[in-house]
Amino acid sequence: MRLKDKVALITGGSNGIGRESALLFAKEGAKVVVADVDDRKGEETVQEIRDMEHEAAFVRADVSRSPDCKNMISFAEEQFGKLDILFNNAGIMHSSDDNAEATEEEVWDLTMNINAKGVFLGCKYGIPALKRAGGGSIINTASFVALLGAATPQIAYTASKGAVLSLTRELAVLHARENIRVNALCPGPLRTELLMKFLSTEEKKQRRLVHIPMGRFGEAGEMAKAALFLASDESSFTTGAEFVVDGGITAAYVTPE
Ligand code: NAD
């Protein structure tokens, strides 16, 4: 078991990447705290883990709210005695996120508050807990759009993921000597609710697919496996990395027919 005796907190753990990671981390021996605004799906994830005879608990947390982030970290320590792995994964892609001219300020603020400030707040309260545990691993979900301009405009989302990447690098450097590793997971386009809602028509889906050498969307489970590597001691010399898992999209100049 790759996460035996570890305690992991996963934000956005009710759906998509977070949910698959919660299930996988639990199978690998971790006690898992699922933090999300979706109570029903969060409780379902926790029940599924308990049905497999592993330990898990749900805490409601809106990652854009400081008191919620403070509370989710205390909750993890109270429930399971410590925190070793913090997976700052919650994020949104707003349906009205567009180019700079068309995007409303409210959409920008909401996106930055959840996707970028949410990661900051997770780290703000999570890092002291990791220090109390003697070190640990932080994984922040960024995106391939932090590395490349996207064919479908989503300016607030792209900027928020750029922020996640740069804060990940700096925190990795700051905490390297404290046995805390900080890495960014950069998924390519995935067949999760978040992207499928945004790419709402077949035409929009095809426009994205054309850029992916593998010719398909990725699966949340494939991201969970990458996150497991970053969470576990197998990645013991990896910090400050942009861990790109994208079906080849960032490597492509021209995609095969
Ligand atoms: P998803 O929509 O399936 O899951 C996101 C989860 O985050 C949901 O459970 C949702 O309730 C939760 N959430 C939303 N706002 C929240 C808030 N304020 N506080 C707490 N939880 C909140 O999406 P996903 O595809 O699994 O995305 C997970 C992460 O991966 C996001 O950060 C997303 O930006 C990133 N990502 C996704 C893709 C993709 O193609 N799906 C690609 C690159 C990066």
Is 194 touching ligand 1 by the criterion CB < 6 Å?
Answer: yes
d(CA 214, CA 125): 39
- State residue 256 phi and psi, 5-degree precision: -65, 150
Residue matched to tokens 């703000």? 124
> 184 pLDDT band (50/70/90 cuts)?
very high
Domain count, the chain: 1
Give the Å distances, CA to CA, from 165 to 50, 146, 240.
Answer: 34, 7, 9
Residue 201 pairs with which residues in a beta bridge?
none
**157 is an active site residue:** yes
Q: Indicate whether 38 belongs to any domain.
A: yes
Other Cβ atoms closer than 10 A to 225 = 13
Other Cβ atoms closer than 10 A to 26 = 24
> What mean pLDDT is predicted for residues 106-129?
99
Residues near 190 by beta carbon (within 8 Å), at least 6 away in sequence = 16, 17, 217, 218, 219, 220, 223
Q: Indicate whether 256 belongs to any domain.
A: no
**From the alpha carbon of 217, which atom of ligand 1 is closest?**
40
The answer for 30, left when phi > 0, alpha when psi is -120 to 50, beta otherwise, is beta
Is 15 touching ligand 1 by the criterion CB < 6 Å?
Answer: yes
Q: Indicate whether 155 belongs to any domain.
A: yes
Q: In one letter, which amino acid is 15? A: N
Catalytic: which of 75, 108, 144, 157?
157
Quick one: pLDDT at residue 101? 98
d(CA 244, CA 250): 8
Is 36 touching ligand 1 by the criterion CB < 6 Å?
Answer: yes
Three-class DSSP category at 97: coil
Quick one: pLDDT at residue 150? 75
Q: Is residue 12 within 8 Å of residue 45, measured between CB atoms? A: no
For 237, the token pair is 């010399």
Is 72 touching ligand 1 by the criterion CB < 6 Å?
Answer: no
User: Is 240 a residue whose pLDDT tops 80?
Assistant: yes
Ligand 1, atom 2: closest residue by C-alpha: 194
Q: pLDDT digits over 2-56, tens only? A: 999 999 999 999 999 999 999 999 999 999 999 999 999 999 999 999 999 999 9
**Using only C-alpha atoms, what is the Rg of the chain?**
17
Is 91 touching ligand 1 by the criterion CB < 6 Å?
Answer: yes
CA 234 to centroid of ligand 1, rounded, Å: 25
Q: Which of 9, 97, 192 is the best mutation target for the ligand 1 pocket, counting ligand atoms within 8 Å of the beta carbon and taking the most?
A: 192
User: Is 62 a residue whose pLDDT tops 80?
Assistant: yes
Q: Indicate whether 19 belongs to any domain.
A: yes
Range of the domain at 159: 7-190+219-245
Three-class DSSP category at 140: strand
pLDDT averaged over every residue in the chain:
97
CA 118 to centroid of ligand 1, rounded, Å: 12
Q: Indicate whether 205 belongs to any domain.
A: no
Q: What is the CATH number of the domain that holds 81?
A: 3.40.50.720
Q: Indicate whether 112 belongs to any domain.
A: yes
